[in-house]
Structure 1
Amino acid sequence: MISPFPCFSAVLIVDFIPEELCLLSIDRGACGGRQTRYAFNRQTSQCVPFDYTGCGGNLNNFVSMMDCMATCGNVGFRR
């Protein structure tokens, strides 16, 4: 059956400072799924893969290594 209601997608626009986002701990979330995502590891100052469960977590969660590096790549080097 085709729904008579249009589909909507929500876009969350967040105003953030990269240092704050990138320095959040890596949070796998609280669901039962498993997706490879990328997060900035503040101890090593590198983006690393991690298993995201599909819900919850925080904003230190990127779909690709390139997205993580573009946002957080210089965080460990800023003073």
Structure 2
Amino acid sequence: MLLDEFCKLQAEKGPCRAIFHRYFYNVNSNKCELFTYGGCDGNENNFRSQKECISACIVKFSCAILGVEISFRPNNGNNLLLITRTTMDVLETPLEMGKWKLVLERRKFPPLTN
């Protein structure tokens, strides 16, 4: 799911001098943070509650749980046949940005002997 464009805007106090505690979505921290709104103008990245901000701007993603079956099959070079099937337990979780590394390990097994 992509962020709405207004969620990418910086917090904008506006030219008026009132003091309203509001929330804006901070794209760098992926959090809804408190700021002081002056009461006029500003932009759409301005929410009365943290809950409203989270509903509008926190990125959600779906993750399907995959079940992997591994079965042996003789004479295919690796002696392995991977079968993947999806079970549809879907999770909705706020996306957390971080430094991710993907490590894939591959192994070759000797042919089965009878």
Tell me the TM-score normalised to structure 1 length: 0.70
TM-superposed CA distance for 1:18, in Å, is 4.6
More strand per residue: 1 or 2?
2
Partner in structure 2 of residue 41 of structure 1:
26
Partner in structure 1 of residue 50 of structure 2:
65
Matches within 5 A, 1:4-19: 18-19=3-4
Q: How many correspondences in the alignment?
A: 61
TM-superposed CA distance for 1:19, in Å, is 2.2
SS of the residue 1:47 aligns to: strand
Partner in structure 2 of residue 31 of structure 1:
16
Q: Distance in 1 between matches of 2:41 and 2:27?
A: 20
- Of structures 1 and 2, the one with the larger relative CO (CA 8 A, separation 6+) is 1
Task: Give the root-mean-square deviation of aligned CA atoms.
Answer: 1.9
Partner in structure 2 of residue 56 of structure 1:
41
Identity %, equivalent residues = 34
More helix per residue: 1 or 2?
1
Tell me the TM-score normalised to structure 2 length: 0.49
Gaps of 5+ in 2: 61-93, 96-114
Between structure 1 and structure 2, the one with the greater Rg is: 2
TM-superposed CA distance for 1:22, in Å, is 0.4
TM-superposed CA distance for 1:27, in Å, is 0.4
SS of the residue 2:23 aligns to: strand
TM-superposed CA distance for 1:21, in Å, is 1.1
Q: Distance in 2 between matches of 1:28 and 1:18?
A: 22
Q: Distance in 2 between matches of 1:61 and 1:41?
A: 11
